[in-house]
Structure 1
Amino acid sequence: MTEQLLHLTEEPLWEAARTAGTYEMSTRGRTLGDEGFIHCSLPHQLPAVARAVYGAGAEGLVVLVIDTGRLTAPVRYEAMEPGGEGFPHIYGPLPAKLRG
């Protein structure tokens, strides 16, 4: 069983991606092109990431639950420092069309 990957973003950015068909933001104010990957979290990592990136009381955010089976880009787990906990990074865009 694969672990659930999460990505925190601003609702208008996600809505724009749904229209475009792909999501290409890496983190707040940084794109996939800027970073080379999309920052993600495991469920237990998300609260700390939300505090670090958006601070307390952030509004208008959505959590994307990523179906890794639909990804065409590789996922790599990388630590911010040697020996640190690995965070999932997606090395390409996310498909953003809803099923249905």
Structure 2
Amino acid sequence: MLIHHLALRKHWQEAQRVGHYTWSTRGITIEQEGFLHASRPDQVAGVLARFYADVELADLVLLDIETDLLDVPWRIDPVGDDEYPHVYGPLPVAAVVDVRDVAQIDK
């Protein structure tokens, strides 16, 4: 299954150097939160609008994560009236099958 995560470009660049991504969401690490927040394709625009509206689009990338390549647990959890995928551990760089500039994505 393909899931998505909005990341600050600088955090993704660091992940590429060390081999894993450790941010749950903006300003919070996976260690602090307990999991990485992710989205289905249809949820990305809403997450972008709610949590990243004040961030320059050029500073963001969208990570496309293939769950079959994860070496840590993941699951879809209820959140309010919806369900969101969460990854329960550091995200291995090898599980990210594409990285897209958010400024270039059709919304």
Structure 2 stretches lacking a partner, 5+ long: 98-107
Structure that is richer in strand per residue: 2
- Alignment counterpart, residue 90 of structure 2, candidates 78, 90, 93: 93
Q: Which residue of 2 aligns with 1:61?
A: 60
Q: Which residue of 2 aligns with 1:77?
A: 76
Q: Secondary structure at the match of 2:71?
A: coil
- Aligned counterparts, 1:8-27, within 5 A: 8-27=6-25
TM-score normalised to structure 2 length: 0.81
Query: Percent of counterpart pairs with the same letter?
Result: 37
Number of residue pairs aligned between Structure 1 and Structure 2:
95
Structure 1 stretches lacking a partner, 5+ long: none
Distance of 1:89 and 1:58 partners within structure 2: 25
TM-score normalised to structure 1 length: 0.87
Structure that is richer in helix per residue: 2
Distance of 2:77 and 2:53 partners within structure 1: 23
